[in-house]
Amino acid sequence: MKTTSSLSALLALSLTASAADKALLAIPGAVIFESKLDSPPAAPWKSAKGKWELVEGVMRGSEVAEDKHGAVTRLPNKLQDFVIEYEFKFLGAKSTSLSINGAKDHMARISITPNSVTIQRDDNDHEGPDKSVIFARLPAELATGTWHKVRMEMVGDSMLGQVDDHVAWGSSGLFKNSKLAPGFTVGGQSVDFRNLSVREATLNPEWETAKATLPKPSEKVSAPAKPTARGKGKKQAA
């Protein structure tokens, strides 16, 4: 009887996991980069701002007040279609993001605070006429001290962002260009990161069906949190 109960529990767990991992925009392929982030930050990582260190077996990023800028660390990879997954944990920071650059400037990001998840196309020229486009800003409750999972998929002209069960997508011609330097940002102190994977991707043949179950771009945009950025104008986190 106990064996039957155990098998039933395992089957239920397996079905739940399968539902959570159901393909959406992308089908993951070959591994481009993979790390548990359990060693001191070093090459190929390039840390432009902030403090990046190994703490309790994982990578920790913290903003440094003297920088007057959020903490930033990036990989040098040039990507086309990809899936990125990792886990993060808030430890007092006010924000974090997964950021993708283009050849000219920023391209796309998933911006995360303890109470929101924002999926967006970035402003690609900073001081020029281009503007960022928010595909979704979803209310969330991301507890401090708890691990949360992030997934970004970019295939063709589309991107999909997911944080735990918060999911949204959007499209832009900009996304057809090469993607550069995927990286983490941290606003405040601190955020832990672990279990990063970057994989090649192909379009899910069932994407049209899958996206019909998701909010349409710009359909779910909650009121923004109170501004915490320094300065004025169009400046974004790196």
Segments making up each domain of the chain, as ranges: 24-221
Segment 156-180 mean pLDDT: 97
The more confident residue out of 102 and 126 is 102
Percentage of residues in the chain with pLDDT exceeding 70?
85
- Condensed to tens digits (0 to 9), the pLDDT of residues 184-196 reads 999 999 999 999 9
Q: Where are the beta strands (DSSP E) in 114-188?
A: 116-121, 133-139, 147-155, 158-163, 166-171, 179-187
Which pLDDT score, from 0 to 100, does residue 237 have? 56
- Condensed to tens digits (0 to 9), the pLDDT of residues 72-85 reads 999 999 999 999 99
pLDDT band of residue 21 (cuts 50, 70, 90) is: low
Cα four-point dihedral sign 35, 38, 39, 42? positive
Task: Give the C-alpha separation, 155 to 90, whole Å.
Answer: 29
Which pLDDT score, from 0 to 100, does residue 16 have? 35
State which fold the 24-221 domain adopts.
Answer: Jelly Rolls (2.60.120)
Which pLDDT score, from 0 to 100, does residue 172 have? 97
C-alpha distances in Å from residue 203, one per residue of 39, 63, 171, 212, 214: 33, 36, 14, 15, 17
Flag the least confident range among 99-103, 163-167, 214-218, 230-234: 230-234
Segment 114-143 mean pLDDT: 92
Cα four-point dihedral sign 157, 137, 72, 193? negative
Percentage of residues in the chain with pLDDT exceeding 90?
78
- Straight-line distance from the first to the last Cα atom of the chain, in angstroms, rounded to the nearest whole number: 57
pLDDT band of residue 233 (cuts 50, 70, 90) is: very low
Contact 157, 175 (CB under 8 A): yes
Is the pLDDT confidence value at 222 over 60? yes
